[in-house]
Structure 1
Amino acid sequence: MAQEAMKPLDNERLDAIRDEFGQNPINRIAMNAVVESGIDAVARNASRARTLSRRFSVTVDNGKVTNQRRSGRCWLFSSLNVARNIAKKNLGIKEFEFSQSYAMFFDKLERVNYFIRDVADLVAAGESEDSRLMQHLLHDVMGDGGQWTMAMNIYQKYGAVPKEVFPESASSKATATMNTNLRTMLHRAVARLYAGEDAQQVIDDCVSSAYRMLCIHLGEPPRSFEWEYTDDDGNFHRDGEMTPQEFWNEYVGSVLDEYVCLVDDPRADHPKGRRIAIEHLGNVVDGTETAYLNVPIDFMKQCALKILSEQHIPVWFGADCHPMMDRKEGAWATDLFEYNRVYSVDFDMDKETRVRFADSQMNHAMAFVGVDVADDGETTRRWRVENSWGDEIADNGYFTMGDAWFDEFVYEVAVPKSMLPAEYAKALEEPAIVLPAWDPMGALA
């Protein structure tokens, strides 16, 4: 049977829709309320909001929350929030913050090198400039987002410094213009490659230009610095001159080196217990590849609970932060907003459907710092989240997440490899399922 030709929205159909809207008085009430107050105020489930307690049976005190400002550095902030918990214990101080700007500097420098070398290889192999892959890479380059493994690549190679040694700049707080200019520089470099210029010269020019641009925007990062501090017992310490690598090794050490990233890919054709990798996704050439172990969401919860309750270390995770979020109050719950009732529209989709049809993917990284557990000692009820959006919202910047929201919108957690059962540990040594660069599991926080 031949498919009917696409029909325009004619006046007859539009009049029928208008009449249908006007005949239901609930539509006008909803319209008046939303026009005046906004959809979130009208759809907010007040009964659910009142029951989302900020009390937790297990908590990790990680001090004052950080603030990423107008940047997409959440993956660096959250991973450094995990690391600073370890560093604070080793330093004997309650308040400490790593420089996220220092980490961003070297991530962007490395990512310029990674991107232009990757593209040079593709050009040499005959990849068309208008292919889906090339257009995806060109569009996606020089954003702020990243993954746990990419963060570890930077810390293991370049170390870290206290924030006072390399503080924020105007461009680290608002990265858009810096990123746009880096992206334009790289786009021109790709055009040079397609014009047949020498690839190594193009690569060298890119890395040199990127270093110069990053220094202008962020300042030149230190090769070494003098470190001295007073601990919370009033004891003065002078460690002398240290490199960033020495500082990281001294105060964080190898605790995070053996972490692996677990992911919940809900698509049935991607089996649990298998590694997943994404083509062309990375930041450091010859660094650890960006790959995940696909596991059930309940196993991710068990690991997070165990780390918080036994090791008392925050847990890095990635989620789709936008659905059902009350940003001001700092709350996530699957039934926090009743949009379907206001609109009389069915929004119901399971996690797999949302991923398959581009309705959800990871876009923000944070750290779990608490959990409320039922009396059985196993059933998780809600989670305390250290965000990086400043302390003027939520509970001084700390959010509360309903347990069901974890199931639906959390995609990744980073955990020690030693927590994996034998079959999962073995899977880490097996070839990964390699997904294309544009796959939603390759989304960056």
Structure 2
Amino acid sequence: MTAEINLDQINKYQKNLDNRKDSKVIERAVTHQGILETSEDFTAESKMAPVFSIDLTTGKVADQKQSGRCWMFAALNTMRIHLMNTYKVADDFELSQNYTNFWDKFEKSNYFLENVLKTADKPLSSRKVAWLMATPQQDGGQWDMLCALIEKYGIVPKSAMPETFNSNRSAQLNKYLNLKLRHDATVLRELVADNASEAKIAETKDTMLNEVYRMLTYALGEPATKFDFEYRDKDHNYHIDAGITPQEFFKTYTIEMLGNVVNGRPVKHLNLEMSDLKKLAIKQLQNGESVWFGSDVGQSSNTKKGIMDTNLYAPDELFDSDLSMSKAERLDYGESLMTHAMVITGVDLVNGQPTKWKVENSWGEKVGTKGYFVMSDDWMNEFVYQFVINKKYLTDAQLDAQKQEPTVLKPWDPMGALA
């Protein structure tokens, strides 16, 4: 039997509220200032000073603008540190996020069309088809996806393929590319339903990809095939590598940064305790290497101040209501998932234990401390889900575990979220 809300209940709730001496004060504060401002604990901010015992030298913070390419920016920022340290390029040097963005959207389009064909025998009402059609492609991704792109297409400096209006503001491109892909899905599903030949289906799909390539070129620019890499190093010495390809640039300058990572291709995760992941991250930082990580950045964080801390806000105290959930419960009940990728570039160790971490974001220099955030160790425990660690730092037992056949998760599993 369905229980409706009745007037007696409402009167009781209002009476209970009226009996609270602080209710009007809290109501005035929250209605004027909002939940976060009212529940912010300023003592937490004092503990998040941006000072770290291990602090890597990094370049100027990049800015992904109005796009969802944090995973791409974070990975390329990790790789450029190697270039800066080895070749002494300028602090404002960046690898082209637009180049990898072009090929990412092209490959995602093909991946979508292939999955449309694989599921063409299923009804539109099936969960797998509905999940597929919900977002044919998007800006988000994971570390291994970028590695796969770079291994296939190479990489270029930002000067060889700079940002465009549509790479900086991706909403329009995503809208119309997804519209086209959904249209193409109807055509492919109809061909399969009509028992069209494999040759006819392949020809149709090839035409679709040709149109996708044209759309991406108009929106993002023609992808670089050859370019001159010229720069002055920090000692003012001039260097030039003329007429090199993206693949040659990758092999020459960045191959060390993509080899021997924990995650394989396709995306594969090694499930470890947070304490073990922290030890590995600290080892990597101590060796001068930054750490790519994925987290739920919107939880208990202040973007303007650049602070991520579980003690920063106390909405449970404000509302006098139990809002607690375990990390597993947040994932299972849809309260949390990986939403953003960033780079760890430092850590503050007290008696050998981490208390806070330095984080390089990709939202420009106007947030945090010139683009850098401070993440408390407790926040890492609760809201960080992935690290990318070089295999050389793993124990023998962890290496053996990494070699095991993985458990395949459903496409909609929260651990498959794209940052």
TM range (shorter): over 0.9
The alignment partner of 2:418 has SS state of coil
Verify: 1:315 aligned to 2:312, yes or no. no
Out of 254, 260, 264, the residue aligned to residue 262 of structure 2 is: 260
CA distance in 2, matches of 1:240, 1:222: 14
Alignment of 1:349-360 (within 5 A): 349-360=325-336
The alignment partner of 1:415 has SS state of coil
Residue 417 (structure 2) aligns with: 443
CA deviation string 1:382-438 (max 9, x = no partner)? 000000011011100100000011111000000112222222212232221111111
What letter matches 1:249 in structure 2?
K
Verify: 1:169 aligned to 2:139, yes or no. no
Residue 89 (structure 1) aligns with: 85
Verify: 1:195 aligned to 2:170, yes or no. no
Q: Report if the CA contact (8 A) 2:283-2:393 is conserved.
A: no
Alignment of 1:56-67 (within 5 A): 56-67=52-63
Assess, with a 3 A threshold, how the Cα gap between structure 1 residues 205 and 25 changes in structure 2: closer, same or farther. farther
CA distance in 2, matches of 1:343, 1:205: 57
Out of 223, 227, 231, the residue aligned to residue 225 of structure 1 is: 227
Q: Report if the CA contact (8 A) 1:256-1:416 is conserved.
A: no
Q: Report if the CA contact (8 A) 2:89-2:231 is conserved.
A: no
CA distance in 2, matches of 1:165, 1:381: 41
The alignment partner of 2:389 has SS state of strand
Verify: 1:107 aligned to 2:104, yes or no. yes
What letter matches 1:111 in structure 2?
K
Verify: 1:288 aligned to 2:254, yes or no. no
Q: Report if the CA contact (8 A) 2:116-2:189 is conserved.
A: no
CA distance in 2, matches of 1:444, 1:87: 27
Alignment of 1:123-134 (within 5 A): 123=120, 126-134=121-129
CA deviation string 1:175-201 (max 9, x = no partner)? 111011111111111111221254313
Residue 197 (structure 2) aligns with: none
The alignment partner of 1:233 has SS state of coil
Residue 333 (structure 1) aligns with: 309
> By how many angstroms is 1:165 displaced?
1.5
The alignment partner of 1:221 has SS state of coil
Verify: 1:404 aligned to 2:378, yes or no. yes
Where in structure 1 do 4 or more consecutive aligned residues deviate above 6 Å?
none
The alignment partner of 1:64 has SS state of coil
Residue 135 (structure 1) aligns with: 130
Q: Report if the CA contact (8 A) 1:152-1:257 is conserved.
A: no
Q: Report if the CA contact (8 A) 2:284-2:393 is conserved.
A: no
- Percent identity for Structure 1 against Structure 2: 34
Verify: 1:45 aligned to 2:41, yes or no. yes
CA deviation string 1:294-329 (max 9, x = no partner)? 11111111111011112x121100001111101110
Residue 173 (structure 2) aligns with: 178
CA distance in 1, matches of 2:240, 2:70: 32
> By how many angstroms is 1:59 displaced?
0.6
Please, what TM-score do these two structures have when normalized by structure 1?
A: 0.90
Residue 146 (structure 2) aligns with: 151
> By how many angstroms is 1:11 displaced?
2.0
Q: Report if the CA contact (8 A) 1:120-1:199 is conserved.
A: no
Assess, with a 3 A threshold, how the Cα gap between structure 1 residues 255 and 393 changes in structure 2: closer, same or farther. closer
Verify: 1:300 aligned to 2:296, yes or no. no
Residue 432 (structure 1) aligns with: 406
| 5+ residue gaps, structure 2 | 193-199
What letter matches 2:36 in structure 1?
D
Out of 242, 245, 255, the residue aligned to residue 244 of structure 2 is: 242
Residue 204 (structure 1) aligns with: 206
What letter matches 1:14 in structure 2?
I
Q: Report if the CA contact (8 A) 1:330-1:394 is conserved.
A: yes
Verify: 1:422 aligned to 2:396, yes or no. yes
> By how many angstroms is 1:202 displaced?
3.4
Residue 31 (structure 2) aligns with: 35
What letter matches 1:305 in structure 2?
I
| 5+ residue gaps, structure 1 | 262-286
Alignment of 1:7-46 (within 5 A): 7-46=3-42
Deviates more, 1:397-406 or 1:10-19: 10-19
Residue 116 (structure 1) aligns with: 113
CA distance in 2, matches of 1:25, 1:152: 58
CA distance in 2, matches of 1:242, 1:82: 23
Query: Which has the larger helix fraction?
Result: 2
Residue 323 (structure 2) aligns with: 347
> By how many angstroms is 1:236 displaced?
0.8
* RMSD, aligned CA: 1.3
Q: Report if the CA contact (8 A) 1:100-1:163 is conserved.
A: yes
CA deviation string 1:75-113 (max 9, x = no partner)? 000000001001112321242101111110000101111
What letter matches 2:12 in structure 1?
A
CA distance in 2, matches of 1:425, 1:118: 32
Q: How many residues align?
A: 411
CA distance in 2, matches of 1:429, 1:253: 22
Residue 392 (structure 1) aligns with: 366
The alignment partner of 1:369 has SS state of strand
Q: Report if the CA contact (8 A) 1:228-1:238 is conserved.
A: yes
Residue 280 (structure 1) aligns with: none
